[in-house]
Structure formats: C-alpha cells, structure tokens
Amino acid sequence: MNSEKRFVVCVSNEGCEDLERRMLHAVVADDDAAADGYLRIIDESGDDYLYPARNFGAVELPLDVVQALETG
C-alpha cells in the first residue's frame, strides 16, 4: 500500500446520492478496493467508505495545505 496522502474531489454522485459533488476527500489506501475500481474515502462524518473511483478526480495539493487538512 502507498502511504502517501492522496486527495480526490467528487465529480459525480451518479449512483451514490450520499456523495456531495465538488467535495474534497482524503483517500485511504486500499489496494483490493482499487483493483475492483473503488476508492476508500473519508466522508464528512470522518468514517471511510467505498465508492466507485469513476465518481472522483485526483487532485494534488501543496504540502502546507495537506498538513493543514491533517491537523483540522
């Protein structure tokens, strides 16, 4: 598993109405889920769930922004 922190933005909530479009999410590394076309993301509640990877776009954030998001 890759320990580097990754972030995605929801670009579609098709089939997943509980997702909010344009919302930024941290990705939890899950190689098995990725192999099946899913991402394990942390939602607004702070819990992680599996969603189709097609619903998200990867984003690269500056290190200082990542650190700020990690500390809340």
pLDDT tier for residue 69 given thresholds of 50, 70 and 90: confident
Domain ranges across the chain:
6-71
Architecture per CATH, 6-71: Roll (2.30)
Give first-to-last CA distance, the chain, whole Å. Answer: 24
pLDDT band at 2 (very low <50, low <70, confident <90, very high): very low
Which residues lie closer than 8 Å to 33 by C-beta, 6 or more apart? 39, 40, 50
The token pair that represents 32 in the structure block: 């098995």
pLDDT digits (tens, 9 = 90+) for 5-59: 899 999 999 988 889 999 999 999 999 999 999 999 998 788 999 999 999 999 9
